[in-house]
Amino acid sequence: MRVTLAQLEAFFWTVQLGSAGRAAQHLAISQPTMSLRLKDLAEAVGCELFERNGRGLRVTADGRALLPRVEAIMAELRQISGRDPHLDVAGAVRIGLAEGFAVTCLSPLLTALQEDYPTMQPEWVVSTSTTLESALMRDALDLAVLLNPVGDDRMRLTPLGAQPTSWVAPATWAFGRAVTPKDLQDLPVISNPQPSAMHRQITGWFATAGLEPARLSLCTSVAVIAELVAGGIGAGLLPVRMVERHVAAGTMQYLVTNPTVLNGRLYVGVRTGVDDPKTRAVARTIGRVLQSIDYLQT
């Protein structure tokens, strides 16, 4: 049996949309015709290309291996026909964002994705980086922007750059010099719980002086921590861009510290072995947006 362009197109759009039914609707063909094309392609290449995943389909390892070659063929067809390549990135994609990053970057990122890929349907999950890592590795996310990830062989990380980070405190707190771990040890400090990147950063900073924060309060929301600091409750370690409005309003101050704070490192994470057009498209748009809003430290 020979491979046809109709079969390859059926395979491509089923991967993109995650469902043979949605692919059939997109191509304006019947469900039985779509199923037959996928069946004939699997027989022609001699391997199973999809496996059931709930109500949808998931690409097999053999299907992932075939996908780049099919994408290349589709790209050639687009060039021949003059078709907009952005229209070939469609369907749902599950994107996780570390919360401190999302507060500043989600709005411009959502706008950019709508402009770049109007038929894409992003599903956003905002949480701590540690929670997102776990979700990514159990296939509950397709892609995530992670802060200081622990890393795992099941995950491929691509660095984005440094996220400027600073100790911040209520504007009413007075310090006459660079703040040390000893200065903050007995003051209220607010952090995400273990094993979050924020908690590791905070305890690591105190550990440089052999100390632990004596009045550490835990909160799962980075955005709420910022509000608590601005409300005079305690100090926190937060992304600089996230708290600019509080500093400008005069309710919060950046602290000059000794030792200095290490900036967070941002990465795009995907599962090892996954090479999907939608995740690549999202990653490209993330990089472009971060450059356009000058978010990362050079």
Taking the C-alpha atoms of residue 244 and residue 100, their distance in angstroms, rounded to an integer, is: 12
**171 and 51: one domain?**
no
- Residue at 297 is within a domain: no
Q: What is the CATH number of the domain that holds 143?
A: 3.40.190.10
**33 and 93: one domain?**
no
- Residue at 26 is within a domain: yes
Q: What are phi and psi of 11, to 5 degrees?
A: -65, -45
Tokens encoding 234: 């305690």
pLDDT value of residue 158: 94
**278 and 143: one domain?**
yes
Q: What is the CATH number of the domain that holds 79?
A: 1.10.10.10
**17 and 78: one domain?**
yes
User: At a CB cut-off of 8 Å and minimum separation 6, what does 220 contact?
Assistant: 128, 192, 193
- Residue at 29 is within a domain: yes
Per the structure, how many domains does the chain have?
Answer: 3
- Residue at 298 is within a domain: no
- Residue at 113 is within a domain: yes
Note the pLDDT tens digit of each residue in 55-88.
Answer: 667 888 888 888 888 888 877 777 776 555 555 6
Domain range for 132: 89-162+265-292
**104 and 247: one domain?**
no
**156 and 172: one domain?**
no
| Sign (positive or negative) of CA dihedral 253, 256, 257, 263 | positive
Q: What is the DSSP letter of 298?
A: -
Q: Tens-digit pLDDT profile for the chain (298 aa)?
A: 788 888 888 888 888 777 888 788 877 888 888 889 899 999 988 999 988 876 667 888 888 888 888 888 877 777 776 555 555 677 788 999 999 999 999 999 999 998 888 888 899 999 999 999 999 999 899 999 999 998 788 899 999 999 999 999 999 999 988 999 999 999 999 999 999 999 999 999 999 999 999 999 999 999 999 999 999 999 999 999 999 999 999 999 999 999 999 999 999 999 988 777 888 889 999 999 999 999 998 6
- Residue at 119 is within a domain: yes
**103 and 124: one domain?**
yes
**39 and 100: one domain?**
no
In the listed set 86, 111, 132, which residue is the last one of a domain according to the structure? 86
pLDDT value of residue 188: 98
**252 and 179: one domain?**
yes
- Residue at 150 is within a domain: yes
- Residue at 214 is within a domain: yes
Q: Is 252:236 a contact under the CB 8 Å cutoff?
A: no
pTM (2 decimals)?
0.74
Tokens encoding 223: 């955005």
**281 and 146: one domain?**
yes
User: Which amino acid, residue 183?
Assistant: D
**48 and 98: one domain?**
no
Taking the C-alpha atoms of residue 268 and residue 96, their distance in angstroms, rounded to an integer, is: 10
**49 and 174: one domain?**
no
